[in-house]
Amino acid sequence: MTEVDASKMGGRQSASVAACDKRYFDALADGRFEVPQCRECGRFHFFPRVCCPHCGSQAIDWVRASGRAVVYSVTIVRAREGADYTVVLVTLEEGPRLMSRVVDIPVDEVRIGMPVRARIDMVEESPLLVFVAAPGGQE
């Protein structure tokens, strides 16, 4: 398994890194997008935690996500320098919501309700989960 430089993980510059964060970003660096699922109540959650935010159980499994998601909301950040980019919230097929970016299409073509698919890019030497349009995917 690829070890992630903890000091750069998730863009966070800190000596102290949560074990869950390390687990998540190490998997991403290894090419796997995994999300935590509660063994007790069966529900997924995100961001990763040591205890289930739904039922409180500490019995957490890591499960490979399908990568299928739908854009829940979108904003275009109008950068003062460089190209404009999107910030989106997507709802994963498994249920949780997370922040990301939709890439590879013009920023003003990203729409709420649009089906998207996860991809792991390397950005500034760190793995970054992004999404691309998934035409024909479920709405």
Partner 1 sequence: MNTASPRGSIAILGTGLAGMGHAGGATEQEIIAQASCMAIERSGLRKSDIDGIITSSLTSPWWVMRMAEYMGIRPRFSDSTMFGGSAFIADLKIAQMAIDAGECENVLICYGSTPRSAPSSSRVNQMRAELDPQPYEHPYKAFNPVSSYSLAAARHMYEYGTTRKQLAEVAVAARKWAQLNPDAFSRKTLTVDEVINSRMISDPLTVLDCCLVTDGAGAIVVSSSQRARSLHDKPIYVLGSGYAHWHRQISCMEDLTATPAVESGRKAFAQAGLAPADVDVVQLYDAFTINPILFLEDLGFCSKGEGGAFIEGGRIEPGGAFPMNTNGGGLSCVHPGMYSIFLVIEAVTQLRAEADLRQVQGAEIALVHGNGGVLSSQATAILSSVL
What residues line the site for partner 1 (CB under 8 A)?
Answer: 9-14, 18, 21, 25, 46-47, 72-78, 85, 87, 89, 97-101, 112-113, 123, 126, 128
Least separation, in Å, of the C-beta of 65 and partner 1?
14
Residues 48/25, Cβ–Cβ less than 8 Å? no
> What DSSP letter does each residue of 6-48 carry, written as one string?
GGGGGG---S---HHHHHHHHHHHTT--EEEEETTT--B-SS-
Greatest extent of the chain over all pairs of C-alpha atoms, in Å:
48
Dihedral in degrees, nearest 10, Cα atoms 12, 14, 16, 21: 10
Closer to partner 1 by Cβ: residue 50 or 77: 77
Closer to partner 1 by Cβ: residue 28 or 133: 28
Least separation, in Å, of the C-beta of 120 and partner 1?
12
Could you tell me the CA-to-CA distances from 56 to 39, 42, 53 in Å, in that order? 11, 12, 6
Least separation, in Å, of the C-beta of 58 and partner 1?
20
Least separation, in Å, of the C-beta of 134 and partner 1?
19
